[in-house]
């Protein structure tokens, strides 16, 4: 029996060494799955870096890419606006980290974060593992040993083998998602009712209600990360303002006690973490006819109306929210 366990231990050690060597050999090797995210981020970051003075940066996932009319907000606040929203699947820690690399003193960050992001405890999922190992060596180098371990052994065998194949890494030029469908400020284009495929329309019709109310009672979430982000912003002269995200309305959100408690608690919980919150989440839930292809992606005309509704609540001087602290 001892020989068996000794052999099993050696086999496990050998497998782990091979696995880690495979990871090492594929760092910065692009894979096709999230190339569109890479292209979109390059487009948005380049747009932000062209502005030398203070800017408004939209920080969230793809709900903001489809849901914020940056030109309308730019006219209201009289500040250049860059929409950094790309993909909520990358997780709260990474999306906040990207904004921290870009923002500088005098900037305003508008944060219409998806509600699921607030529940993100930082456990790496398949998307962030793929993206960081393939596309962001700087972020990888800043991860702790424990985080490296979680990323490395959270990778699937299929993704591990794909990274070693060194497949062609061409820019995305077709389909809904990618830099080819972003305007100069980083907003999504080609998101009208006529641009939808039958599958995209069906995806909205069949969208299920979210279980955030139940999850918040069981999951630690990213509240500490939000609090740290607020402290970083204050230290660096950056004003952060949170607002509700867009979400397809389901009756469950109005009558389920856990859902009601969750959505009603979001403004207070984010404000308590140090970030002013403007608006009420359930006031920004819309019917299916407003959405493009998911329960978080608005059509272009709906984006205009949603942004106008936000502007009605926002102070004409965004810095006022930080002076009130």
Encoded tokens for 191 = 């998101």
Dihedral sign for Cα atoms in the order 62, 181, 39, 44: negative
Could you report the per-residue pLDDT of 141-176, keeping only the tens digit for each?
A: 999 999 999 998 899 999 988 988 988 999 999 999
The structure tokens 């998307």 sit at: 127
DSSP for 123-143? ---HHHHHHHHHH-HHHHHHS
Please tell me the predicted confidence (pLDDT) of residue 204: 98
Largest CA distance in the chain: 74
Structure confidence by residue, pLDDT tens digits, 16-34: 676 778 788 898 999 999 9
Q: How far apart are CA 168 and CA 96, in angstroms?
A: 30
Structure tokens at 92: 């709260």
Structure tokens at 113: 């974060």
Cβ pair 297, 191 in contact under 8 A: yes
Within a domain: 236: yes
Structure tokens at 273: 């973490």
The CATH number that applies at residue 66 is 3.40.50.1110
In this structure, is residue 61 part of a structural domain? yes
Distance in Å from the first CA to the final CA of the chain:
65
Query: For residue 2, how far is the Cα from the chain centroid?
Result: 49
b/e map 147-186, b = 16+ CB within 10 Å: beebbbeebeeebbebbeeeeeeeebeeebbbbbbbeebb
* Rounded CA separation 188/75 (Å): 18
Percentage above 70 pLDDT, the chain = 94
pLDDT at 119: 95
Residue with tokens 């039958």: 198
* DSSP-derived 3-state class of residue 225: helix
pLDDT of residue 123: 93
From 262, 259, 275, select the one nearest 225 (Cα to Cα). Answer: 275
Residue 201 lies in a domain: yes
In this structure, the number of other CB atoms found within 10 A of the CB of residue 139 comes to 18
Domain count, the chain: 1
20 found inside a domain: no
Task: Please tell me whether the overall predicted TM-score, pTM, comes out greater than 0.85 for this model.
Answer: yes
pLDDT of residue 24: 83
Per-residue model confidence (pLDDT) at position 12: 58
Domain for residue 202, yes or no?
yes
- 215: domain range? 39-123+178-323
Nearest by Cα to 24 from 168, 140, 196, 177: 140
Whether residue 7 is contained in a domain is answered as no
Beta carbons of 62 and 40 less than 8 angstroms apart: no
For the chain, residues with pLDDT lower than 70 are: 1-16, 18, 324-325
- Output the pLDDT for position 10: 58
pLDDT score, position 255: 96
- The distance of Cα 71 from the centroid of its chain, to the nearest Å, equals 21
Look at residue 228 and tell me if it is in a domain.
Answer: yes
Q: Is residue 56 part of a domain?
A: yes
Give the SS3 label for residue 109.
strand
């Amino acid at each position: 029996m001892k020989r068996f366990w000794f052999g099993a231990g050696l086999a496990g050690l050998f497998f782990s060494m091979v696995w880690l060597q495979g990871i090492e050999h594929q760092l910065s090797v692009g894979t096709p799955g999230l190339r569109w995210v890479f292209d979109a981020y390059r487009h948005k970051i380049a747009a932000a870096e062209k502005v030398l003075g203070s800017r408004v940066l939209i920080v969230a996932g793809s709900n903001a890419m489809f849901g914020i009319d940056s030109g309308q907000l730019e006219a209201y606040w009289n500040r250049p606006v860059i929409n950094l929203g790309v993909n909520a699947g990358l997780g709260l820690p990474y999306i906040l980290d990207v904004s921290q690399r870009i923002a500088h003193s005098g900037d305003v960050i508008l944060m219409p974060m998806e509600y699921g992001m607030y529940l993100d405890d930082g456990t790496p999922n398949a998307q962030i593992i793929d993206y960081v190992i393939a596309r962001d060596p700087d972020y990888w180098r800043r991860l702790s040993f424990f985080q490296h371990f979680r990323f490395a052994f959270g990778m699937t065998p299929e993704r591990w083998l794909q990274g070693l194949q060194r497949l062609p890494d061409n820019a995305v030029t077709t389909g809904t998602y990618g830099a080819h469908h972003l305007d100069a400020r980083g907003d999504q284009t080609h998101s009208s009712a006529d641009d939808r495929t039958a599958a995209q329309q069906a995806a909205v019709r069949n969208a299920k209600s979210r279980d955030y109310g139940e999850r918040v009672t069981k999951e630690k979430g990213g509240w500490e990360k939000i609090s740290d982000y607020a402290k970083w912003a204050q230290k660096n002269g950056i004003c952060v303002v949170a607002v509700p995200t867009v979400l397809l309305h389901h009756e469950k959100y109005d009558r389920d006690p856990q859902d009601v408690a969750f959505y009603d608690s979001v403004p207070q919980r984010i404000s308590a973490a140090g970030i002013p919150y403007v608006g009420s989440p359930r006031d920004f839930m819309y019917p299916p006819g407003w959405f493009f292809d998911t329960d978080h992606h608005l059509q272009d005309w709906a984006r205009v109306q949603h942004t106008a509704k936000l502007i009605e609540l926002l102070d004409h001087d965004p810095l006022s929210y930080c002076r009130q602290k």
